[in-house]
Structure 1
Amino acid sequence: MHPVAELLPFAVALAAAGALAGLLAGMFGIGGGAILVPIFFHVFGLLGVPEEVRMQLALGTSLAIIVPTSVRSFMSHRKRGAVDTELLKGWVIAVPLGTLIAAYVAAKASSVELRVIFALIALALALRMIFNRATWQLGSDLPGNPARFLVGTGIGILSGLMGIGGGVLNNTFMTLYGRPIHQAVATSAGIGVLISIPGLVGYVWGGWGLDGLPPFSTGYINWIAVALLIPITLSLAPLGAQLAHAMSKRQLEIGFGVFLILVSLQFFATIVA
Structure 2
Amino acid sequence: MNYIEFILNNIPTFSALVATGIFAGMLAGLLGVGGGIVIVPVLYFLFQSLGVSAESAMLVATATSLATIVPTSISSIRSHHRQGNVDVVLLKRWSVCILVGVLVGSWLVTRVDGTILTLLFGLIATMSALNMLFRTGKSTIYKALPNIVGQTVMGTSIGFFSAMVGIGGGTISVPLLTLFNYPAHKAVGTAAAIGLIISLPGAITMLTLGSTPTDAPVGTYGLVNLIGFIFIVPLTVLFAPIGAAFAAKLDAVKLKKVFAIVLLITGLRMLAQLFL
Q: TM-score range by the shorter chain?
A: 0.7 to 0.9
Distance 1:54 1:136, change over 3 A: same
2:123 pairs with 1:108: no
Structure 1 stretch displaced more, 25-34 or 71-80 = 25-34
2:51 paired residue number: 48
What SS does the corresponding residue of 1:140 show, helix, strand or coil?
Answer: coil
Structure 1 stretch displaced more, 233-242 or 49-58 = 233-242
Distance 1:155 1:243, change over 3 A: farther
Shift of 1:41: 1.5
Aligned residue pairs total 273
Q: Of 18, 21, 35, which residue of structure 2 is paired with 1:18?
A: 21
Does the 8 Å CA contact 1:37/1:58 hold for their aligned counterparts?
yes
Give distance in 1, aligned partners of 2:136 and 2:25. 28
Does the 8 Å CA contact 1:69/1:237 hold for their aligned counterparts?
no
Give distance in 2, aligned partners of 1:97 and 1:57. 22
Superposed counterparts of 1:1-273, under 5 Å: 4=7, 7-27=10-30, 30-133=33-136, 136-208=139-211, 211-241=214-244, 254=257, 257-272=260-275
**Residues 78-109 of structure 1 deviation map (CA, whole Å, 9 limit, x = unaligned):** 22222222222222211121111111222232
Shift of 1:256: 5.5
Structure 1 unmatched ranges of 5 or more: none
RMSD over aligned Cα, in angstroms? 2.8
Does the 8 Å CA contact 1:99/1:199 hold for their aligned counterparts?
yes
Give distance in 2, aligned partners of 1:174 and 1:252. 23
Give distance in 2, aligned partners of 1:113 and 1:228. 27
Shift of 1:141: 2.0
Structure 1 stretch displaced more, 53-62 or 181-190 = 181-190
Structure 1 stretch displaced more, 151-160 or 98-107 = 98-107
Distance 1:25 1:96, change over 3 A: farther
Structure 2 unmatched ranges of 5 or more: none
Shift of 1:129: 2.6
Give distance in 2, aligned partners of 1:245 and 1:85. 28
- In the alignment, residue 164 of structure 1 is paired with which amino acid? I
Distance 1:141 1:207, change over 3 A: same
Please, what TM-score do these two structures have when normalized by structure 1?
0.87
Does the 8 Å CA contact 1:103/1:160 hold for their aligned counterparts?
yes
| Identical counterparts, % of pairs | 36
What SS does the corresponding residue of 1:91 show, helix, strand or coil?
Answer: helix
- In the alignment, residue 186 of structure 1 is paired with which amino acid? G
Structure 1 stretch displaced more, 211-220 or 86-95 = 211-220
Does the 8 Å CA contact 2:98/2:157 hold for their aligned counterparts?
yes
Shift of 1:246: 7.8
Please, what TM-score do these two structures have when normalized by structure 2?
0.86
Shift of 1:238: 3.4
- In the alignment, residue 132 of structure 2 is paired with which amino acid? M
Structure 1 stretch displaced more, 228-237 or 258-267 = 258-267
